Amino acid sequence: MTSLYDPYPKTKIEGHQGELIQGWESILAQLQEKMEDILVIDTYPGVYDEEIKHELKKIPHDVWIDAIELFKDQETIYEQLKYHITDDRVFGRMYYGEIENFIVEDKKKALQEQAQKARQEGKKVIVYGYGANLIAQGLLVYLDLARWEITLRYRQGMPNFLADNQDEDALRKIKRGFFIEWRVADKYKRTFFDRIDYFIDTNDMNEIKMVSGKAVRDGLIQMAHRPFRLVPYFDPGVWGGQWMKSACNLDPDKENYAWSFDGVPEENSIYLDFGNGYIELPAMDLVLDQPKALLGKSVYSRFGAEFPIRFDFLDTIGGQNLSLQVHPLTEYIHRTFGMAYTQDESYYILDAKEGACVYLGLKEGVVPEEMISDLEAANRGEILFDAEKYVNKFPAKKHDHFLIPAGTTHCSGKDAMVLEISATPYCFTFKLWDWARVGLDGKPRPVHIEHGKKNIQWDRTTHWVEKNLVNAIYTLKEDEHVKEEHTGLHELEYIETRRYWIQDDVLIKNEDNVNMLNLIEGQSCLIESMDGSFEPFEVHYAETFIVPASVKNYKIVNNTNKTIGVIRAYVRKPKA
């Protein structure tokens, strides 16, 4: 079967066709025309400031104010944040502060007075940089950037904001971004999102693009009322496989692909298509701007403006075992890292080769002290850890579903293609054993036995796991049109998953609850509106897509001549 998977999905925005402005020459001309006295250009931390300033200074101006002058020096900021940065390569502590916590008030007042004085004197003023909106009001431009692009820039040597850490381990830079910088920047962006006059897409410096703030906001409203896809990204790994190359239309010359994040709004981006081109924005812009329409009132009241479900791919077909791992319990992640909820998850086996397996739960009679002692010795290089002595190993075949509530020891073995359905706290995997490997960077991959041993649920042993976590599937409804099955997740987890085997079509009532879905069998299907509010949306095999809560009812239509399969995840309503 020829793959129809689209790695670059775009959302067509109605009512603003042809409004995209491309290239520095056209962008500068537009800004010069619209600028009256003050041009304010705020940024997401991570943009290439020097390259951008070189272009923007071509706009005629009398006074240039750089917002970097607002901030405390890097040593002061580091001391202020070191509790949150931590010494760990991967884990920090969530920072819930504001941009103002890093600003010197006297400096801000002086820069505000400088801008106001210049305006009164009839001078043209440009204020540039992260925090510029705090200095002056004027034509407001925002330079946006996706988190995945920031991650790639960290790997290439870019430092964190106001840090001299170009040569630091990329994992540490990403950690500082995730736990601190991105949180603060998103919170700050929200305070003036509705006033932005123009957005500039700075993800690709060779293709700078700009569109009006109104067009972007209208586009986000449209997205929040119809099915859409996020822009996936793919990354190699030491255990990576070969399945995604053909299934997802990727570069066949790459050594492997390990991960794909195809349904993670915190990490993915969106493409807004204006007919004459598209801009790339962080998907978090949609979550932050349209949380109620996207998530629904119940989910929004429970999680706030955060997307609580994640779909991603783990490809070990032709690769190696994942690391043996465990995720933190809710109380532990909250107390230790400042997160409100934890990474409950499941492995849905999208495809598998003969001999594929999943390691899940502990064997009967495991002695905790003995297992931990062997893990510690193995990670010191003294022995090879005998995983099968301690951990259950279950055969895995296509369309099996393994449930993994937090605290359960687990990993996928080689030759499995996993659709991971989970909560979204991002990086909270405590590796226990990594099969004596090093990462692609040549360094040992981080292992966290101290965290792990405090979270392993030692009573999740063979009999309990077999009963509760392996293919806990039962039929809810079956007729000539559809077979609907409950496939998980475990009662300890807040995500519900349903699987549909569809002959012609099925009506889905989402009950004001955001839905994340994937076409797990068949070449394509259509998502159709019941009230005509959106055009039929076509989905292809293995594509993850989102149906916002605002789409009250919708139909999944089989537009092929064979049975198709769809898995759907949503947030369970709290029990009364």
Calculate helix-pair angle for 24-34, 49-56, nearest 10 degrees. Answer: 60
Do residues 359 and 383 both lie within one domain?
yes
CATH classification of the domain holding 124: 3.40.50
- Residues 44 and 72 placed together within one structural domain of the fold: yes
CB neighbour list of residue 330: distance below 8 Å, 6 or more residues apart: 341, 342, 406
What SS3 state is found at 310?
strand
Q: And the tokens for 199? A: 């957005």
Whether 145 and 191 map to the same domain: the answer is: yes
CATH number at residue 487: 2.60.120.10
Residue 321, number of CB atoms within 10 A of its CB: 20
Any domain includes 225: no
Determine the pLDDT at residue 425: 60
Beta-sheet strands, E only, within 100-231: 125-128, 139-144, 198-201, 209-212
CB-count burial class (<10 Å; 0-12, 13-18, 19+) for 60? exposed
DSSP 468-527: HTB---EEEEESSSEEEEEEE--TTSSEEEEEEEESSEEEEE--S--EEEEEEESSEEEE
553-557 and 505-509: which strand pairing?
Answer: antiparallel
378/483 same-domain check: no
Residues 460 and 480 in one domain: no
- The answer on 535 and 416 residing in a single domain is no
Tokens of residue 311, six digits:
């779909």
CA dihedral for 131, 137, 138, 140, sign (positive or negative): positive
Residue 227 placed within a domain: no
Give the whole-angstrom CA distance, residue 19 versus residue 92.
42
Give φ, ψ of 539 to 5 degrees: -125, 145
Tokens, residue 16: 């603003």
Cα–Cα distance measured from residue 532 to residue 513, given in angstroms and rounded to the nearest whole number: 19
- Residue type (1 letter), 532: G
Residue 248: inside a domain: no
Tokens 């959302």 map to which residue?
A: 11
Task: Quote the pLDDT of residue 161.
Answer: 96
**Could you say which of 207, 240, 256 is where a domain stops?**
207
As a whole number of angstroms, the distance between CA 555 and CA 557 comes to 6
Domain boundary among 468, 491, 517: 468
The answer on 523 and 459 residing in a single domain is: no
Q: Are residues 416 and 304 in the same domain?
A: yes
If one counts the domains in the chain, the total is 3
What is the per-residue pLDDT for 2?
85
Q: How far apart are CA 386 and CA 364, in angstroms?
A: 15
Residue 297 sits in the same domain as residue 420: yes
Cβ-based burial of 13 (10 A; exposed 0-12, middle 13-18, buried ≥19): buried
Tell how strand 38-43 and strand 125-128 pair up: parallel
Asked if 482 contacts 501 with a C-beta cutoff of 8 angstroms, the reply is yes
The parent domain of residue 450 ranges over 278-468
In a domain, residue 19? The reply is: no
In a domain, 214, yes or no: no
* Residues 336 and 450 placed together within one structural domain of the fold: yes
If 0-12 CB within 10 Å is exposed, 13-18 middle and 19+ buried, where does residue 3 land? Answer: middle
> 528 - beta bridge partners?
555
CA separation for the pair 481, 200 (Å, rounded): 47
The single-letter code of the amino acid at 352 is A
254 domain-assigned: no
Distance from C-alpha of 191 to C-alpha of 98, rounded to nearest angstrom? 11
Strand partners, 486: 474, 498
Distance CA(369)–CA(453), nearest Å, equals 9
* Contact predicate 549/293, CB 8 Å: yes
pLDDT of amino acid 576: 57
Question: Is there a contact between 444 and 380 (Cβ–Cβ < 8 Å)?
Answer: no
In a domain, 487, yes or no: yes
In 224-355, which residue ranges form alpha helices assigned H by DSSP? Answer: 243-247, 284-289, 291-295, 297-303, 330-337
Last residue of a domain, one of 468, 499, 523: 468
Report which secondary-structure segment, H or E, holds 272: strand 269-273
Q: Is residue 246 part of a domain?
A: no
Q: Is the dihedral of CA 444, 449, 450, 456 positive or negative?
A: positive
β-bridge mates for residue 404, sequence order: 345
Query: What is the SS3 assignment for 244?
Result: helix
Whether residue 439 sits in one domain with residue 373: yes
Same domain, 282 and 172: no
Among 451, 447, 457, residue whose Cα is nearest residue 377: 447
Q: What are phi and psi of 91, to 5 degrees?
A: -105, 130
The helix, strand and coil proportions of the chain, stated in percent and rounded to the nearest 5, come to 30, 30, 45
242-245 own/partner pairs: CB under 8 Å, 24+ apart: 242/315, 242/317, 242/318, 242/319, 243/315, 243/317, 243/318, 243/351, 243/417, 244/313, 244/315, 244/417
Q: Between vectors from CA 277 to CA 273 and to CA 280, what angle results, nearest 5°?
A: 60
Return per-residue pLDDT of the chain as tens, 576 residues.
Answer: 689 999 999 999 999 999 999 999 999 999 999 999 999 999 999 999 999 999 999 999 999 999 999 999 999 999 999 999 999 999 999 999 999 999 999 999 999 999 999 999 999 999 999 999 999 999 999 999 999 999 999 999 999 999 999 999 999 999 999 999 999 999 999 999 999 999 999 999 999 999 999 999 999 999 999 999 999 999 999 999 999 999 999 999 999 999 999 888 888 999 999 999 999 999 999 999 999 999 999 999 999 999 999 999 999 999 999 999 999 998 998 888 887 777 789 999 999 999 999 999 999 999 999 999 999 999 999 999 999 999 999 999 999 999 999 999 999 999 999 999 988 766 778 999 999 998 777 777 889 999 999 999 999 999 999 999 999 999 999 999 999 999 977 777 789 999 999 999 999 998 889 999 999 999 999 999 999 999 999 999 999 999 999 998 999 999 999 999 999 999 988 765
